[in-house]
A and B are shown apart, each in its own frame.
Chain A
């Protein structure tokens, strides 16, 4: 294995919780090894959470990740509710489910758009984002902001879903995006150029997936049928039911399909949830702070999110441990990327959905000549796009 050059990708990689710095070791066009460094957006949230009160932490953990901004507070609240022995009102459980599924739709569409951008198909990128927009506007009406919904609190939710006005609006939005989603799904899966670009790229075998304990769509695309919504039903998933989508190929195409199918399934879950939502209170005021520990688990759009909370009876938790799904998925890039060609590297990184957004700064270091030159993201993207054209 001769290493000819190293190619650091990042650090300006606007990934969600964990922006990464990838150093690719190359032999010609082939990637032979990868080193990953985190810490660029490490904000010490666990440290801050041990210094804030229980009422303030949901707003803090909401800001772990912009796209999972319902997942983290919900997970934290579930952990605290388990530690304190609280039973959340039924209506609140349904509202959590509905908001969570709407978030999944917006997150998966966002990812699909970014993936389309990376393979150089900007038309598709724009269309995915166009059809994601109604969901954001729906959130603005339902929760008061397009992101950072501030819906969860310990013991329930903070805002109610109006049974007439809001329900009609949600159904209207869903019926508007569902046909577009079906059309776009066909545009992806039937297009030979797109398929050539993402099929058999970044394959993660079932065994590797299990060894690396990956979660969410990455695991489900590799044939691991794990989904917290099904395995350990929280919120109202027991009542509304979930159809877990599992594919076995483990390549980027399967991951894309799993996500698109899940987005369609989420539409159905929201509809079922809206039909079954019971009336009643949405919030329970906690009476006392019970010492003990609790584990909250939520299926985020990217996979299982887990929070561990230890309460010691004061109004500040003794320990809050947060493990976001990307933390388990990002290390799985290594086995996928080794052996692939450089042009596929960005797509593989993006395919585990660390939310690869738009700009990156890349420095190209050639080990032999030891000359460093800065290469911008767009020019590297150009090389990826050239590859799209050839295939």
Chain B
């Protein structure tokens, strides 16, 4: 979490009430990606909480990262992270994003996501249940609140 502490309360409130998310695949097998789309579809429908998946990192409050970071993706991940306006939260979805899972030791894997960018919440699971992804986003949004009380 970065950003000034003298922000207006209403910004944090609105961020919590309608967080916009950007989803980034850094080399995952797409399982977690499907589950992220799944939480947007009728069964889980996170638009109930105002969560909207955005097409551009410039619009995002929440960055959902899936997959181990591959060598080719590494510079792009850094660039996308720089593009996300601060303050933001980063959620690493899935075991690969948390710890590279079963891909550890490959020549093309750099490491888990938190080796490259700061991560606020980890959601382990292979893939995590959509319910766990919702829990992860909710836990991440708490970070906006915590910072304000500082």
* Residues of A close to B46: CB separation below 8 A: none
Chain B residue with the shortest CB-CB distance to A117: B37
Establish whether residues A43 and B33, one from each chain, have CB atoms under 8 Å apart when the complex forms: no
- From B9-17, B99-107, B111-119, the one touching the partner chain is B99-107
Establish whether residues B80 and A43, one from each chain, have CB atoms under 8 Å apart when the complex forms: no
Kindly provide the distance from the CB of B77 to the nearest chain A CB, expressed in whole angstroms.
Answer: 10
Beta-carbon contacts under 8 Å, A1-55 to B: 11-12, 14-17, 19, 39-45, 47-48, 51
Establish whether residues A15 and B30, one from each chain, have CB atoms under 8 Å apart when the complex forms: yes
A129 CA / B36 CA spacing, docked (Å): 13
Take A43-B103, A44-B106, A130-B43 as given contacts and tell me if A359 and B30 are in contact as well, using a CB distance cutoff of 8 Å: no
- From A65-73, A217-225, A295-303, A330-338, the one touching the partner chain is A65-73
Take A126-B41, A378-B54, A379-B55 as given contacts and tell me if A44 and B30 are in contact as well, using a CB distance cutoff of 8 Å: no
A39 CA / B34 CA spacing, docked (Å): 20
Instruction: Check A64 for interface membership: any CB of B closer than 8 A.
Output: yes
Instruction: Check A318 for interface membership: any CB of B closer than 8 A.
Output: no
A51 CA / B69 CA spacing, docked (Å): 20
* Residues of B close to A39: CB separation below 8 A: 70, 72
Q: Summarize A's interface: helix, strand, loop or mixed.
A: loop
Establish whether residues B102 and A63, one from each chain, have CB atoms under 8 Å apart when the complex forms: yes
Kindly provide the distance from the CB of A374 to the nearest chain B CB, expressed in whole angstroms.
Answer: 7
Establish whether residues A69 and B25, one from each chain, have CB atoms under 8 Å apart when the complex forms: no
Establish whether residues A133 and B55, one from each chain, have CB atoms under 8 Å apart when the complex forms: no
Kindly provide the distance from the CB of B62 to the nearest chain A CB, expressed in whole angstroms.
Answer: 13
Number of A-B contacts defined by CB within 8 Å: 149
Instruction: Check A377 for interface membership: any CB of B closer than 8 A.
Output: yes
* Residues of B close to A60: CB separation below 8 A: 102
* Residues of A close to B126: CB separation below 8 A: 63, 145, 148
Instruction: Check B67 for interface membership: any CB of A closer than 8 A.
Output: yes
Instruction: Check A355 for interface membership: any CB of B closer than 8 A.
Output: yes
A51 CA / B109 CA spacing, docked (Å): 15
* Residues of B close to A59: CB separation below 8 A: 102
A17 CA / B33 CA spacing, docked (Å): 12
Instruction: Check B27 for interface membership: any CB of A closer than 8 A.
Output: yes
Establish whether residues A66 and B33, one from each chain, have CB atoms under 8 Å apart when the complex forms: yes
Establish whether residues B109 and A12, one from each chain, have CB atoms under 8 Å apart when the complex forms: no
* Residues of A close to B81: CB separation below 8 A: none
* Residues of A close to B102: CB separation below 8 A: 48, 56, 59-60, 63
Establish whether residues A377 and B109, one from each chain, have CB atoms under 8 Å apart when the complex forms: no
A381 CA / B54 CA spacing, docked (Å): 12
Establish whether residues B34 and A359, one from each chain, have CB atoms under 8 Å apart when the complex forms: no
Establish whether residues B31 and A66, one from each chain, have CB atoms under 8 Å apart when the complex forms: yes
* Residues of B close to A147: CB separation below 8 A: 31, 34-35, 127
Query: What 8 pairs between A and B have smallest CB-CB spacing?
Result: A66-B31, A376-B56, A378-B55, A377-B55, A44-B106, A129-B41, A66-B30, A376-B55
> Can you list 9 contacts pairing A with B, beta carbon distance less than 8 Å?
A17-B29, A40-B73, A41-B73, A66-B30, A67-B34, A113-B41, A129-B43, A145-B127, A357-B34
